Structure 1
């Protein structure tokens, strides 16, 4: 499915389920998401991580609403707990076989967002590993001078912000040197197809979800 359509579908489903409590619809979305990931040949280890990592958050929500409230409501507790898995698995469906480059290109070509926004998203995603490496270097440099910069140290983040500003300036210069001009028409090197079948499948999925959402409550 087209990356933009996948993103919009996941966003709409998550938004609708956040506005209306429906435990049974949550279960249907979870089953469909797991089925989609299995069809897309997700690794079993990765799928298990997707199920285990959100468990603590889901269990905390359930325990708070079921055991630590004056009026316990099991249905409401289960509904909010399973909602955690809805958010996790729908985003996993989008991110599983969609690269950052394809997603940025789809935003520009299919949703007709400004190219500076699409390239900004791509730049932000690609700069994360560089920032993590820069933070490690800053901490090592600090320890060599007898300074331990903890995770919550303001000095660490101040230095990281300076590194980010320098990286942003270098990125802007690099884009200009490769011919990027804001507001100008750009050629498409790798087209991202948007077919009628993408809209059809998205409409069918939304129809099924909404029928269950309002029928099952």
Structure 2
């Protein structure tokens, strides 16, 4: 399925279940999302992470609304707590077969997102691992001089900002050397087409979700 369609489909579903509460719909979305992830052969470790990590937030919401509320409402507590899993699992359904490069290309080609924004997002995502290495190198260099730079140390972040500014300049020069010119039309190396099936699948899913929202509580 087209990455842009998947992303907007998840966004629309998330907005709809936020406006119209329906515990049954939440549970149906969770079940179908889990089935889809299993069909896509998600790793067992990743699946368990998606189940147990959001449980902390879901349990906190449930406990706050049911056990520590002056007027406990079981339905309302379950509805809001299950939304955590809906958001987590639907986003996982998008990311399991779509990487950031494919998504950025789809947004640029299909949604006509400005190329400078698309390439800027890709640059920011790709520079994150380098920034982690740079921060680790800064901390190691400080320890070799007898200076411990803690996680909240302003000196650490000041040095990291200097590294980021230098990396941004190098990145800009690299993009210009590869022929990137802001505002100019660019050729498409890997096209991301929009198929009729994308429209049909998106429409069918939205119709089913809306029917469930208004039929079940």
Q: What's 1:194 paired with?
A: 194
Structure 1, gaps ≥5 residues long: none
Q: What is the TM-score with the length of structure 2 in the denominator?
A: 0.96
Q: Which segment is superposed worse, 60-69 or 154-163?
A: 154-163
Q: What's 2:7 paired with?
A: 7
Offset, 1:82: 0.7
Q: Which segment is superposed worse, 197-206 or 43-52?
A: 43-52
Offset, 1:110: 0.9
Structure 2, gaps ≥5 residues long: none
Q: What's 1:162 paired with?
A: 162
Q: Distance in 2 between matches of 1:151 and 1:26?
A: 39
Q: What's 2:99 paired with?
A: 99
Summarize deviations over 1:92-116 as a string: whole Å, max 9, x none.
0111111121111101111111111
Summarize deviations over 1:41-60 as a string: whole Å, max 9, x none.
21222111111111111111
Q: What's 2:53 paired with?
A: 53
Summarize deviations over 1:83-135 as a string: whole Å, max 9, x none.
11111111101111111211111011111111111111111111111111111
Q: Distance in 1 between matches of 2:6 and 2:104?
A: 13
Kindly report the root-mean-square deviation, in angstroms, between the aligned alpha carbons of the 2 structures.
1.1
Q: Distance in 1 between matches of 2:183 and 2:75?
A: 51
Q: Distance in 2 between matches of 1:128 and 1:4?
A: 23
Q: What's 1:185 paired with?
A: 185
Q: Which segment is superposed worse, 147-156 or 97-106?
A: 147-156
